[in-house]
Chain A
Amino acid sequence: MRALVVDDSRTMRRIVGATLNDLGFETQEAENGAAALALLEAGLEVDLACIDWNMPVMDGLELVTRLRATREWRAITLMMVTTESEQEKIVRALAAGAHEYLLKPFAPEALRDKLDLLGMLPQPAGGAA
């Protein structure tokens, strides 16, 4: 499984990336929505994008909207990872097409739980009970 981590904080990209790596994902990084689109336009293929909200140049909500509106990128699972925790913000993001929403601060287990909800965790051989 491959993931794109989009956040203007290098620290946060590394934290999210490390947990995704622990869970078996290959990861790439982008520092804002425009950089993410550039990577995808250049041919990067991913199954999952973890997207921060507040970023310069293009914010996360705009990125989510663009990805969901573009046929070749509609299949990417989109999880927002953000401090924006007002009820209305979460509703807006889900309405724009985000599949999940992880609040910052988060523990690595919480990211894992969200991936489990999305059916994106590697299954052990033989299948779970």
Chain B
Amino acid sequence: MSIAPDTFAFVADLVARRSAIRLEPGKEYLVESRLAPIARERQVSLDEYVRRLRAGAPDDELAGVVEAMTTNETSWFRDVAPFAALTPHVLPLLRAAGATDRVRVWSAACSTGQEPYSIVMALADAPLPVEVVATDLNEQVLARAREGQYSQLEVNRGLPAAVLVRHFERVGAHWRVRADLRGRVQFRRHNLMDAAPPGPFDLVFLRNVLIYFDLPTKRAVLDRVARVLRPGGFVVLGAAETTLGVHDGFERVEAGGAVLHRPLTAPRPPVSAVPSVPAPVVRVPMPRGLPPASPPHLTALRPFSAPARPAPARPLPQSRGVS
């Protein structure tokens, strides 16, 4: 299959505008391989799918296309909101639902480890210890993930500088996640077609993976995930993903700007049981002799609230907690 030149041009332009990633000529094969599954699901050719996008598509549809094209761009804290919301907004919900001694997270399709380590870093100041099981099909990427060592280009991708200096150390030209954080993640080879790793889990990160499966398979994977979630636990999908139209056994919950999905069959805690927890302050430990940090204290992963700036462009919805 080869795509029409203006199909490629449209996609390249869309991706460049929204992600600063440039698809140069020669990358047509990438557009084909990443977008063909989406077109297939809509039962049209890729050229037809893109023609429809150009004729007018809702913004989240366009966002989905950009996600599919950039999904291998492994970055830290991808999309920010799900991670920034973890300690201040998601954790209280989990605790109200019964997580009392620790938080267990499954990071599925973890690749070279940025996601599970981001989860641990986001929960570094949480009042409960966190354990992460991180799985992938590919043994090579798992080996890299266990090492926790990344090139300077890799640590430049989405890591707040304050988080870099706190949780990493330099090793030659590379940066390595510090041992105490590495110790909180267990990496394992796993195929999403098989039964899930032993739970229960409070959170399952299943981001930008379902896009590659057909509808029955997506449902089956979500079923397996639901089975290992603790009541009140959540699935975290990719920023442009939803269970809507895929699996009707989940409800969408918003918490501090993050969109989560929760299995419907789980009993929900009463509204009054949700405590409000003030956002913890993440401080960078300063070496002795340096002046204290003069900018405002870091909060979660928006380290520096822009000084004297009007309301952020992305207004954070009130935490709905239990609907």
Contacts and interface: CB of A to CB of B under 8 A. Distances in A.
Tell whether any CB of A sits under 8 Å from a CB of B in the complex. yes
Interface of A: 19, 22-23, 68, 74-75, 77, 85-88, 90-103, 105-114, 116-129
A85 B312 CA distance: 30
B152 interface: yes
Contact of A113 (B75, B239, B295, B315): B75
B20 A99 contact: no
A106 B157 CA distance: 9
Interface residues of B, number: 54
Given A102-B156, A117-B80, A127-B314, A23 B295 contact: no
B259 interface: yes
A121 B293 CA distance: 25
Interface in B229-244: 239-240, 242
B157 to A, nearest CB: 5
Given A23-B20, A110-B157, A127-B314, A95 B292 contact: yes
A120 B259 CA distance: 21
A95 B294 contact: yes
Contact of B161 (A101, A112, A123): A101
B301 interface: yes
Given A22-B17, A113-B75, A129-B60, 19 more contacts: A22-B20, A74-B308, A75-B307, A77-B307, A91-B165, A94-B295, A97-B294, A97-B295, A100-B303, A105-B152, A106-B153, A112-B19, A114-B158, A119-B313, A120-B306, A124-B62, A128-B239, A129-B63, A129-B239
B1 interface: no
Contacts, number: 132
17 contacts: A68-B294, A85-B152, A91-B165, A91-B290, A94-B161, A94-B165, A96-B294, A99-B295, A103-B156, A107-B157, A110-B153, A117-B80, A118-B302, A123-B314, A124-B59, A128-B63, A128-B314
Contacts of B10: none
A118 B239 contact: no
Interface in B9-23: 16-22
A40 to B, nearest CB: 15
B73 A109 contact: yes
B291 interface: yes
B310 to A, nearest CB: 10
A105 B153 contact: yes
Given A86-B170, A100-B304, A103-B152, A94 B314 contact: no
Between B62, B291, B295, the greatest number of chain A beta carbons within 10 A of the residue's beta carbon is seen for B295
Contacts of B161: 90, 93-94, 98, 100-101
Interface string B73-102: 101010010000000000000000000000
A16 to B, nearest CB: 12
A75 B308 contact: yes
Contacts of A119: 302, 306, 312-314
A21 B52 CA distance: 28
A113 B160 CA distance: 9
B42 interface: no
Nearest to B312: A119
Contacts of A122: 313
A22 B301 CA distance: 25
B214 interface: no
B164 interface: yes
